[in-house]
Structure 1
Amino acid sequence: MSKPPEADGGPAHGWQEPPIQTAPPSVSSAGQEAIDLAAKAGLKLDLWQQHVLRVGMGEKPDGSWSAFEVAVNVPRQNGKGGIIEARELWGLFIGGEELILHSAHEFKTAKNAFRRIERLIRGCPDLHKRVKRYWQTTGEESIELHNGQMLRFIARSKGSGRGFSGHCNIMDEDMILGDNEMDALLPTMAAIEDPQIWYLGSAGIGPQSVQLARLRRRALAAIEAGVPDPSLAYMEWSADLHVKECPRDCTAHDDPASDEAVRKANPALGYRLTLAKVANERATLSKDGYARERLGVGEYPSEEGDAWAVIGKDVWEALADGNSQPADPVAFAIDVTPERSHASICVAGQSGEAVHIEVVDNRPGTDWVVKRARELTEKWRPRCFVIDTGSPAGSLIRDLKKGLQVDPEEEADGDEEPRLLAPVVEMKTRDVVRAAGQFYDAVAAGRIVHLDQAPLATALAGARKRDLGDAWAWARRGVGVDITPLVAATNARWGLSAEVEEPEEEVEPWADYG
């Protein structure tokens, strides 16, 4: 992501483009008009603020908005208010938007926003002369132009906003935004041609962040699929912090005490924030408070009914059997997260009429997998090891085969493949689809037993489907949980009936003549 050049000895700057971004395609943008108008009113925007406006105000070939919804998720004190003011100035004085509704969770926030933009307009004679009236009555703060256009400021409630038809809705403090407020405000735009809604706020704070969580899930799903959401532009500045399971040398996540984590989450660093001020915050705030308020690490609630969406919790728990054990021959499977932060090894084996599945190992990183697979093979002599070649675990196949050789130090003669302690079965896409369907059917028929292990239950609670033609497989991204235990268990079960080339057993010399 782009970062502004820094002069030698100059202040450190934050990332000017967000670590997380998705937006529908556009052929032009009204963002530059908003940037220029803001400058005319005395509001000089940072590079990152300009980036948000150019992306959020992207246009289709017919001139309509590319994105109906624009969401900006950035920690406090970075200057999101400047983006709001530039967008509202454009809507009033260039865009011809008849009504702009600016709402905030608290009345004082809405009133402060009114006072800020009022000062900008009054300070620019060319804009001020177009204003008919500044309404300053408490609860009715508005700016009305001579042509009837209006910018109105309100505090959100279940009923506020009803009866208005806004061309543009500005939803400030969107980390406190639920269904009641959306039900009151969003329908006001139904009769408007080419409306737009902007959400701006900081990281999610739990159950109150219902709408922000919904927007974020859509954005992550679009990024995972590699296809932009057709109506959402989402930009988030946040750090991706280490978790407790990360190894000491983990480079896939951010150290919360590092300057780079601050740069990544705070685009205003070097403009209105400094590393010294941030260090003071880190010393004063709680660990979780610092992560949320300065590093953008939020808590996002699941959609109601979102958990256990594929297989019901009651159904899964009914299949638990703490005394179950797999019978020989067993099959193992390996899976790895897309970012390679975690890996899982699962086992499957018959247990009466059902199939026993179990998480054998679920750890951070991948460097432990081959060694652990060798240990399990020497103990269990499994039917096979299963890996999806198209998954992140596919990169382990070569090392796994080498690690499972009868004598890893001995090279094969000629074209002969080295003998393995257990075959490695490489799944193709059609196998992945079949495995998911068979697993689902087996659960529905009660032909699965398990030990009620937390990693597998957590994976199932957050699991989603990924469409593959007329069938489906487990979705790897945009689910918010590590689903490698579920994928590995699914593939291990499939491995019990997969075609494998059984390794030839060495024959003792006396057996030839016995």
Structure 2
Amino acid sequence: MIEFAALFLGIKLRPWQKWLLIHALELLEDGRYRFRKVVIIVGRQNGKTKLIEVLALWWLFVDSDSFPEHLSADEFLVLGTAQDKDTAKKVWKRVLRRCNPNVEKWPGRFSPAERAAIVPALVSEAMPPSESNGSEAIVLKNGAQYQIAASTSGGGRGDSISRAVLDELREQKNWDGWAALSKTLNGTFNSQMWAISSAGDAKSVVLKDIRDAAIAALDEWQRYVDQGIASVEEFANTHDVSIGLFEWSAPEDCRLDDPDAYLQSNPSIGYGYEVDTLLSDLASGEPEHVTRTEVLGIWVTASVTPYLDVEAWPLLADGPDVSYDGQIISTGSEIAPKSPVVLGVDTSSDRKRTWIGVAGWRVDGLQHLEVIDVLTRMTRVPDRVKAIADEWGIEFVAVQARGCNASELAEPLRKLGLQVIEVSGPALGAGTGKMLDRVADRRMRHRGQEALDQAVKHAVAKKLNDVKVWDREASPVDIAPLVAVSNAAYGLEAMPEVEASAYEDHGLLVA
């Protein structure tokens, strides 16, 4: 790839870019990529965009023909994504200017700079591009394509993706974009995904979680492999070693005026700018947190402390157990057949998703909490809740009555004949506090659902008078899944028509 950049594109890559490519593109013995996912963290203005441009061109014009017996070129799709489509399109346009046949066909329509960027050898392999908004595509004569999409849209338009770039991973505030993109890569032979970014903050939950997991894996490697307890092969057989993390960052406790810190986090210093350039930004009054994250690669996350016990939560998971061939060995936690059941509803602060949760008693007297549905349009929520209630024989639904988006659902739910348990006033603090107690006292079980797990991991609470209540705005992820099951659990304990004797009549142990 380094040779391709020099000979065809006239680009002499910087030492850090060459080093990264040599290691990120390492191959296994059979020629497949060692890493299926590559995560890169480096300070701004170090040449990330140029690197992505070269990478996309090389994938498209060279790598698309690397394994014709497993993946034909006409099935090879490169997808460029970012938090919004305009950001993804910037790199796509840089790639297009290298291979656009229209430049040679109608040179008068293009600037001297655009004409100078053209690579005739690449143009000869390309078809006229599709540049209309919503269907942008660079297509080669062998059928390989490069498309773009916003990561929030759920990935590419094809059935599967061969190569993908997710730019500015720090901007991903939830797992939707990453999950959709990574799943489309799973069914493709020798696929690879690159995510590149500067360091993040408390809201950069995807980048933070991936980085934390990678560092934990490195610690495991040091304990077992570096100390000779296990061989490389033994370790690889029992651990996921398909993710590569490449990070340039300064020590967390470094001084903001320490030149060595800038050298560690900005590998392009000496290739177009010097340390004093970055120090001058600091002198101009740039906020410290901006310098630390975007220039020095240091994470600023101390302001967010999860409300629930995140170490206890995984211990309370009781999900289904499935054998390697898909047979259900155990269904996991479930509500007892005759238990009272309450639904809970909550909507994200941006109104994009409404989550439906459920709470009921298990046969051992512990609460079972579960997310059972999510809807993207609030107008459909009342009918969906009613349909679930009718199917399950549920009468009660708990929802916050004021001060949030979900409060507008209370009256439509009543009109559909459901008994609405309003979580408002003192109940807000009680519902939040009881959730804290249930987890701490191990008085509940859940099914290990990703949306709920992520909400628990990052949910924060704020003080309201003398109690704590859920804080949707300050939480770095959508905590509506957690609020929905929290409301349901509160409603289960607050149901006026159900007395303790009813639980005994149903053969349940009272928790």
Q: Normalized against structure 1, the TM-score is what?
A: 0.49
Bigger share in helix: 2
Larger Rg: 1
